[in-house]
Amino acid sequence: MTDVQNERAYQKQDAIPLGFSARVSKKKKGSLRYYKDIGLGYKTPQAAIDGDYIDKKCPFTGNVSIRGRILKGVVISTKMQRTIVVRRDYLHYIKKYNRFEKRHKNIPAHCTPAFRVKEGDTVTLGQCRPLSKTVRFNVIQHTPAQESSGKGFKIF
């Protein structure tokens, strides 16, 4: 557990009491880990079950529930700590010209350490309570990027 303690605040999972793991570890090898199924047909990643990270904003191991919208998008930035920026492309209809125009939105989302996300990957986001000033979504599924040549909308 010492390698997890790299923040200023003491890192622990709220669902497991501090003195409880010492009593149980004699019977069972390994340490206790709290994880849950978020429902909606999305499986808990194996890295969340076996991992040793502590993230209170993780939907699988923390105190965050997924409710509301489920969105898909392409990762365009991973420069923040545990936060990514996802681009959602869509078409907007202009009635006067009887045509569509391309538009996009950038959505900041919390990315748990269970996912190894890179730029260009496709992720599924689930809406949750506000996690910070701008973050209201959490990554619940990750699909690695496919090799493709050409510009344009990546999600279509």
Nearest CA-CA partner of 83 in 126, 137, 12, 128: 137
Contact 82, 116 (CB under 8 A): no
Which residues neighbour 33 within 8 Å (Cβ) at sequence distance 6 or greater? 13, 16, 49, 50, 51, 52, 61
pLDDT for 88-101, tens place per residue?
A: 999 999 999 999 99
Given this model, what pLDDT does residue 37 score? Answer: 92
pLDDT for 39-60, tens place per residue?
A: 889 999 999 988 888 888 999 9
Given this model, what pLDDT does residue 25 score? Answer: 39
Nearest CA-CA partner of 128 in 140, 116, 120: 140
Average pLDDT, the chain: 85
Scanning 11-147, the segments in alpha helix (DSSP H) are 20-24, 46-50
This prediction's pTM? 0.79
